[in-house]
Structure 1
Amino acid sequence: MTFRKFIASIHLYLGLITGFLFFIIALSGAIYTWQPEFSRIAFHQEVKPEDQPFISISDIKNTLQKNFPEGDFRTALYRDPASAIEVLIYVPGTYYHAYLNPYSAELIHLQDMNQGWISKLKNLHRNLLLGPPGREIVHWVTLIAMIMLMTGLVIWWPYSGKPGKEKFTVKWSASPKKLNYDLHNILGFYATWILIFTIGTGIFWGFEVVRESLKEVTGENALKWDSPLSIVQAGSLNSQDEVLNKLIKDYHSRYPEAEVRINIPHKEDEAVQLSAIQPKAGINAVDFYYHDQYTGALIEGNFQNGASENRSTFSKINGLVYDIHFGSVWGMPGRILACLASLIGASLPITGFLVWWNKRKLKRKKR
């Protein structure tokens, strides 16, 4: 058996074994690319802008106490004037997002984030709706998919010479068998250069050995970080809301173009964390700040999650991985490319199976 035939055999049998699972993972990933837009519609996040200040943390607490008293209020994300405030709430066994009108504090929508079709779509992509065992299956199918891409490129290259025009152009007027072959061979070639990144980032998340190795290479494990802590002041707990109200107002004034998230302290020495998020700038552009929950004073130090310019090499790579996986690193064009590449990726097991089946039928005829 020649080397090329050996590579073709690996490509074929791995595809037959994992093709159906990869189809599900790729198709669900392509659809989930548009999760922000789906969520904005399904969770009623859009509001009519008004010429008045946003509500305070105290207002949010009052609304939650009235409508969802069993919930544990954790964070509030203040966004642009046309978007509802997104509130994270914990309850035993799950968590909710509550969406509040930023001007009236009216509860617009309450969503159990482990329920609904968007949650099911996410879990279908991450674990095939099978929980932890399914997550492991997805990780290994992702690794095999990377091998499929590499072997596919070897098969795509002609037996001799350089690739001709026919290797880059689909002949739409060809017979069904030839058209199917072109869809697999040529579209697969183009999609591969995007899928290498989306699948490669999936491997980064899926295998701890990859992340730990990168931590060693970048020196992440040798870094020492400070812990942002509040100085406990007895009898000052009642003033927490006043501090939180002032902080969120100050940060929204300071970062008018950013989304601002504030964490609600749950321990006596816990600091208030605020993050300034530039919606189109990616994970690595997020700045984190810490304040004393009793006085509101800024806490300074060398924190693992701090100012974006002080982020470690590993943290920057980790953030970049997230943006690459969803295509957001290239903005809207990147998300469109990631979606199209994933759709083509989902088609490859189907067209590949048909290529194999047609060849099999041809061999039987000859016999």
Structure 2
Amino acid sequence: MLKKGVLWAHKWLGLITGLIVFLVSLSGAIYTFHDELKLWIYPNKYFIEPPTTTVTPPLELTELIERAQAELPAEQNISRIDLYPAPNRSWIFRASDVDPSAFGHWNYFRYYKRVFMNPYTGECVAIEDSKNEFFQLVLQLHMNLLLGKTYGHALVAYSTLFFVILLLTGMVLWWPKKWRGKPLKRSLWLNRKAKWKRFNYDMHNVFGFYVFPLAVLLCVTGLLFSFPSWKKTYSQFINQFASANVDQRPPHEPQLQISKPFESPLDNLLAHALDKHPDAGMMSIRLRPADAPIIDVQIRLQEDRSGLFYWYYVHSADMTIAQIASHEKLKTGDLLAALNFDLHTGAIWGFTTKFLVFMAALGCASLPVTGYILWWNKKQKTTKQKARRC
């Protein structure tokens, strides 16, 4: 009786959320290698001819911002810069604005542009309409089904929550009656000689079993993005079991004030960050109002790892360091929260874990397809049986 109720819940939750799970899983699989694919597909945007001498410094950031802004319409304001210490990489100046209540991707983004600049010459390398760029569309499909944040985000979040229930009920239904012989073999291995209906049934069961651990991880990390309050509760709960370390200053950072060779606080902050972290993967700066008391720069030690970072917060008036946040100084719960993106995308241990996430996402995408076929075959069989009785 219990298994019958589990089967009923599994079937109807699958039918209700199947299309969304398929789209989210497939787009997630495609987006897994987006960092590598973008560099391969758009080399003219991301790579530049390095300067002739290794000591050639980039232009002042404020000058580059002015030059990048001049490439855009006056109403499209640059709000973020992604820059790379590597001498062969362009710097990216982002301008975006959204309407949070709008329906549909193209209404949600009022505009989204990226200006790629050569930081050593000040030349504009390319201007990208990111609103219509392929990988951005894939990301928005993954996060909100291209419906805009207000409408699509909730659908994705609750469908992911239901998918966790589907995975758990699926494991109950998968559980072999006997852990030996044919029942166990059929639960763990595909019989390629089986007829199509049986083969589809085995695919649903076997794929579901093998993707289960990673699928649960992907769902949980995805839900932490969808429900920020859960993320806070989750990190606070784990922090209870970790010893506190309130010193947020790394050992190699003895000074309290940044030197001021430039007029602009932003230029001084970036010069300091580049001097302290010349081998960083990338840095991000969000532009604040001119009178903002604090300016900041996020430093990723590896380009595609958001969980390995330093984050400098500096008083703009006198360039004294207010705080340096670092992954090295986080409590266990806060560190896991910071690593959530790396866990979700598989970047945590490089290509190996990215490939595992890619395969798990494809496996998740297959489950609604094979599950729907199972339901359809069962429905057709029931219809034929009723027709025979009549």
Q: Counterpart of 2:67?
A: 63
Matched-pair contact (CA < 8 Å) for 1:265–1:293: no
Q: Which runs of 5+ in 2 are unaligned?
A: 99-109, 247-261
TM-score, normalised to structure 2, is 0.79
Note the C-alpha offset of 1:190.
0.6
Partners of 1:211 and 1:88 in 2: CA distance? 27
TM-score, normalised to structure 1, is 0.83
Flag as ranges the 4+ runs of structure 1 deviating above 6 A: none
Q: Counterpart of 1:50?
A: 51
- Please say if 1:117 is aligned against 2:134: yes
Select which of 261, 269, 273 maps to 2:296.
273
AA matched with 1:155 = L
AA matched with 1:8 = L
Partners of 2:129 and 2:304 in 1: CA distance? 28
Q: Counterpart of 2:320?
A: 298
Partners of 2:268 and 2:167 in 1: CA distance? 53
AA matched with 1:85 = W
Deviation track 1:161-218 (CA, whole Å, cap 9, x = no partner) reads 4562232111223222222122211112111111110111122222355235336635
Note the C-alpha offset of 1:294.
4.5
Segment drifting more, 352-361 vs 39-48: 39-48
Aligned 1:284-295 pairs, distance under 5 A: 284-295=307-318
Cα distance 1:65–1:206, how it changes in 2: closer, same or farther (>3 A)? closer
Matched-pair contact (CA < 8 Å) for 2:236–2:333: no
Select which of 153, 156, 172 maps to 2:174.
156
Note the C-alpha offset of 1:247.
3.7
Aligned 1:1-367 pairs, distance under 5 A: 2-40=1-39, 41-42=41-42, 44-52=45-53, 53=56, 54-68=58-72, 70=74, 71-79=76-84, 80-90=86-96, 93-131=110-148, 132-161=150-179, 164-208=184-228, 210-214=230-234, 217=237, 240-241=263-264, 243-258=265-280, 259-279=282-302, 282-295=305-318, 297-301=319-323, 306-365=325-384, 367=388
SS at the partner of 2:132?
coil
The size of the alignment, in residue pairs, is: 348
Partners of 1:48 and 1:99 in 2: CA distance? 13
RMSD (Å) for aligned C-alpha atoms: 3.0
Partners of 2:97 and 2:120 in 1: CA distance? 26
Partners of 1:274 and 1:287 in 2: CA distance? 8
Q: Counterpart of 1:231?
A: none
Cα distance 1:298–1:95, how it changes in 2: closer, same or farther (>3 A)? farther
AA matched with 1:60 = L
SS at the partner of 1:286?
strand
